[in-house]
Amino acid sequence: MTVLAHRATASDEVTRDALAVLQPGFEGTTAPAWLLRRIGEGLTSVGLFGRNIASPEQLAALTAQLRAERDDVLVAIDEEGGDVTRLEVRGGSSFPGNLALGAVDDTRLTRDVAHELGRRLAECGVNLNWAPSADVNSNPDNPVIGVRSFGADTHLAARHTAAYVEGLQAAGVAACTKHFPGHGDTNVDSHHALPRIDVDLDTLAARELVPFKAAIEAGTKAVMSAHILVPALDPTRPATLSPQILTGLLRKELGYEGLIVTDGMEMHAIAGTYGIERGSVLAIAAGADAICVGGGLADEDTVLRLRDALVAAVREGTLPQDRLADAAARVRALAAWTLGARPDARPEGSRASGIGLTAARRALVVTGSAGPLTGPYVATLTPVANIAVGDETPWGPAAELAELLPGTASGLYPQGATAGEILAAAGERTVVAVVRDAHRHPWMTEVLDDLVEARPDTVVVEMGLPRAEPRGALHIATHGAARVCGRAAAEVVAGAVTGV
């Protein structure tokens, strides 16, 4: 082989490795030609979002289209269940989220829910799920985690994280435990800015890291890094870009050997401070193996920019070629695992049939009593949704209650609405006030206080983190806003109306 030919071969290998570490998204419900072409050139992963999914049948056809180019392609999705759903983005999830499962605190139930969710993903050809969230929600004002966490108790979060990982992977879908080293004690959304966690090493070890250790012991195939600054571990770089955190802590101290995936690189915590090209190079150099991008940037140009930035960094010596090769090898190893995965049999009987609704019913906490009530008027106080949850997925019990009680009326009330407006619309009907994290929104608290004072028979349904004192004649805490949580709440309200 000539020197020129050797250089060309080496260059081709670097380019293939650079493509292999990317997890891009795309627009549309069929794969664009550019994506199929890049898969043929070495792209090993694709990320799916709500915009890519219309139905299970369409999704299965899409993943088959991708696998026609590469049979071991990793098809990833952000399907936590609960508030964060992509599989059921237009109707709401058939499964409650983590907080509801933590409220029940039955690890067998958590494992079975994760297994059934994984089974449905696998049926559609999805083999990597960016879930579960192992974050301990120690800060109740956290704007981005909240009900996505199993709870504020470290050991509860740890045992349910392990159960979720086991259930999901028993269905043949790789789990990606997030957001390392723990996003629960933040008061800033990393989609918008760079959060900072100012706790000491002992607190981190006793609180944040415990669920991740449990996930590693349970065999999680992937771990997702967080775009957070933890000065006790690295005073200058966020976790996604920190060798101390990804290589030193996660690899060496915790002994994790699987795939490390970054959170979305287009999030402002990285894109707004480092830029996605430099950020991607720094992430791979720090120990990450896969670059998640595509939630907001979903085009061929983004893929080529990141590929070329990685190749240039290798040529310039700022990114060791063996580090890029090692990252690509880990991606390919997980892809190979998905081909050989042998899913467990589906649980029989009630454990599989309607398990999501069963879990949602068990998660309810109902305080007070009321009834029989008059026909309800459902007033949903709507906060601005965070980007992870999105605002395209419907939530609340209004539609489910209308199915149970035809003639149910409802309205949506954003910030600025008043109790007077709601009472005028309700007339003689019983007001069912639906909120989400009322403790984080003073305007909601004010409206609820005014409603309960004017109409003591008001029913309150809290579908977020239930931190405020129960109020109203009947208070229902669902521990999440999944469709099944709305259904479970609607059943209670309907029972109060009919007296059944």
The answer to whether residues 290 and 310 touch, using CB atoms and an 8 Å cutoff, is: no
Residue given tokens 């139905």 in the structure block: 55
> How many angstroms separate the CA atoms of 476 and 472, rounded?
10
The answer to whether 191 is a known catalytic residue is yes
Which residues have a Cβ under 8 Å from the Cβ of 10 and sit 6 or more positions away? none
Neighbours of 440 (CB within 10 A): 18
DSSP class per residue in 179-236? EET--TT-SS-TTTS--B----HHHIIIIIHHHHHHHHHTT-SEEEE---B-TTT-SS
According to DSSP, residue 299 is labeled: S
Kindly report the three-state secondary structure assignment for every residue of 110-146.
HHHHHHHHHHHHHHCCCCEECCCECCCCCCCCCCCCH
The answer to whether residues 32 and 303 touch, using CB atoms and an 8 Å cutoff, is: no
Structure tokens at 276: 């996605």
Check whether the bond before 56 is cis (ω within 30° of 0): no
| Residue of 115, 160, 179, 191 with catalytic role | 191
> How many angstroms separate the CA atoms of 357 and 361, rounded?
6
The answer to whether residues 500 and 410 touch, using CB atoms and an 8 Å cutoff, is: no
Neighbours of 314 (CB within 10 A): 23
Gyration radius of the chain over CA positions: 23
> How many angstroms separate the CA atoms of 34 and 69, rounded?
12
Structure tokens at 278: 């430099």
| Residue of 17, 185, 234, 263 with catalytic role | 263
> How many angstroms separate the CA atoms of 401 and 377, rounded?
10
Q: What are phi and psi of 451, to 5 degrees?
A: -65, -45
Which residues have a Cβ under 8 Å from the Cβ of 432 and sit 6 or more positions away? 376, 377, 378, 379, 397, 401, 458, 459, 460, 461, 493
Kindly report the three-state secondary structure assignment for every residue of 455-499.
CCCCEEEECCCCCCCCCCCEEEECCCCCHHHHHHHHHHHHHHHHC
The answer to whether 263 is a known catalytic residue is yes
According to DSSP, residue 29 is labeled: S
3-state helix, strand, coil in the chain (%, to 5): 45, 15, 40
> At residue 333, what is the residue type?
A
Catalytic residues: 191, 263
